[in-house]
Amino acid sequence: MENSILGLKIIHVRTKKEFKEFVYLPLKIYKNDPVWVPPLWAEEYSEYRKGKNAVLAHSDYQLFLVLRDNKTVGRVIVYIDHNFNTFYQSKTGFFGAFECVDDSSAGRALLEKAEEWLKAKGMDAIRGPIDPVAEKWGFVVAGYDRDQVLMSPHNPQYYNEMVMSYGFSKAKDLLVYSADMGTGYRMPERFERFSRFLLKRKPNLSVRKMDVKNIQSEARHIWKIMNTAISGNWGFVPIELAEVEDLVKKLKTIVDADAVWFVEDKGVPVGCALGFPDINRIIKKIRGRMLPFGFVRFITDLKKITDYRLWALAVLEEYHGMGLDVLLYAHLYEALLPKEIRMEANYILEDNVLIKNALLKLGMREIKKYRVYEKRIDKRSIGDD
């Protein structure tokens, strides 16, 4: 036992039994939630370990459970990403994988323990939720009833109140935009015309799909572009090649070349659009379990998917203002239109006016909002007046 308040016990996760409780707690939280999609349990079970996860490989971290009457009612991972703090010259810690029953005392106990752990390690602030395993940022604060797409969060509405009542405030909102080709969405014709005009006017430019046979080489192109193109974004940390390779490894089974595009200048990639099929509906059908029969269902249904996520679109800074993003959007649209897919553009920063305006001009509409929170760490001892 690490702490005991109001009849609650906070424990470090150490044993196999405790680790299993940590991983499978969402089954209790979301058993009656029609929107929630379970993770792929085998993958989830392995990746909360330092040797299995690219972010945790360069982080100090601890898993905590909160128990009431010896029954697990909440969990959290708290960690220090040394790459982040080195880049920003900061002392910021993070929490993620936060789950808790509707019990304000239990939620407060988890957040208090996370703060206490970070304070003991000299941190000045705590930010989250940012899950280092599932690539999930924020709590949903608008659009709770919208489907949960791959690598995006879902949570009960009371989570916002839990963190706010403990003293967290909004750090940043992340927005979600959608366009549904299956219900009539069409990209404005002027963008298609501009795309053709630009390629004719700039013969050094070309656009191509991902070469799936050379996926590791393509991952390097994405890594180089992303590290340069989004370096000014809020929360950005230089991405390690291992992290991109880890993402590509996760997506390799489901990659659709029609959803991944590069724009090149004389054959050198200078921009990319990375989309992928949203397999969450299949994961939901197989309840997160590939074995013994889930894999067959997965392979059978994979080609039927009509929901996609646009995870990233980036162009090197020296090419900004030329319309290369339009080239990427147009080719992505033209390739996916015959499939009549619905595309979600996720994690759009609330103050990224250029991208927001571009999406609106493309006819996409805002459907959801996630919120990341931050709190200065109280340097007083817990319980001090």
Coil, helix or strand at residue 140: strand
Residues 119 and 208 in one domain: no
Work out the average pLDDT over 218-237: 88
Q: What pLDDT digit, counting tens, does each position of 128-179 carry?
A: 999 998 789 999 999 999 999 999 999 999 999 999 999 999 999 999 999 9
Q: Is 117 within a domain? A: yes
Q: What pLDDT digit, counting tens, does each position of 299-346 carry?
A: 999 989 999 999 989 999 999 889 999 999 999 999 999 999 999 999
Q: Is 290 within a domain? A: yes
Residues 167 and 195 in one domain: no
Q: Given pLDDT bands bounded at 50, 70 and 90, which one contains residue 350?
A: very high
Q: What is the pLDDT of residue 148?
A: 95
Q: Is 308 within a domain? A: yes
95 versus 321: the higher-pLDDT residue is: 95
Residues 29 and 126 in one domain: yes
CB-CB contact of 248 with 239 (8 Å): no
pLDDT at 380 over 80: no
Q: 210: left (phi > 0), else alpha (psi -120 to 50), else beta?
A: beta
Q: What is the pLDDT of residue 378?
A: 81
Among 303, 31, 376, 359, CA closest to 178: 359
Residues 116 and 231 in one domain: no
- What residue numbers bound the domain in which 29 lies? 3-173+372-376
Among 284, 278, 273, CA closest to 254: 278
DSSP β-ladder status, 342-349 and 169-180? antiparallel
Greatest CA separation for the chain? 71
Q: Is 36 within a domain? A: yes
Work out the average pLDDT over 1-14: 75
Q: What is the pLDDT of residue 252?
A: 81
Q: What pLDDT digit, counting tens, does each position of 230-280 carry?
A: 888 898 888 888 878 777 777 788 889 999 999 999 999 999 999 999 999
Residues 205 and 241 in one domain: yes
Q: What is the pLDDT of residue 144?
A: 95
pLDDT at 121 over 70: yes
CB-CB contact of 125 with 114 (8 Å): no
Q: Is 385 within a domain? A: no
Residues 150 and 77 in one domain: yes
Q: Which residue reads 């360069």 in tokens?
A: 58
Residues 147 and 293 in one domain: no
pLDDT at 117 over 90: yes
CB-CB contact of 160 with 371 (8 Å): yes
Q: Is 213 within a domain? A: yes
Q: What is the pLDDT of residue 33?
A: 96
Residues 70 and 147 in one domain: yes
Quick one: what percent of the chain has pLDDT higher than 90?
76
Residue 17, Cα to own-chain centre: how many angstroms? 28
What the block records as the tokens of 46 is 């392995």
Residues 146 and 214 in one domain: no
Residues 214 and 357 in one domain: yes
Q: Is 367 within a domain? A: no
CATH number at residue 277: 3.40.630.30
Q: What pLDDT digit, counting tens, does each position of 283-299 carry?
A: 999 999 998 889 899 99
Residues 105 and 126 in one domain: yes
- The total domain count for the chain is 2
Give the C-alpha separation, 139 to 173, whole Å.
Answer: 9
Global pTM reads: 0.91
DSSP β-ladder status, 8-12 and 71-81? unpaired
Residues 102 and 241 in one domain: no
Q: Given pLDDT bands bounded at 50, 70 and 90, which one contains residue 385?
A: very low
Q: Is 384 within a domain? A: no
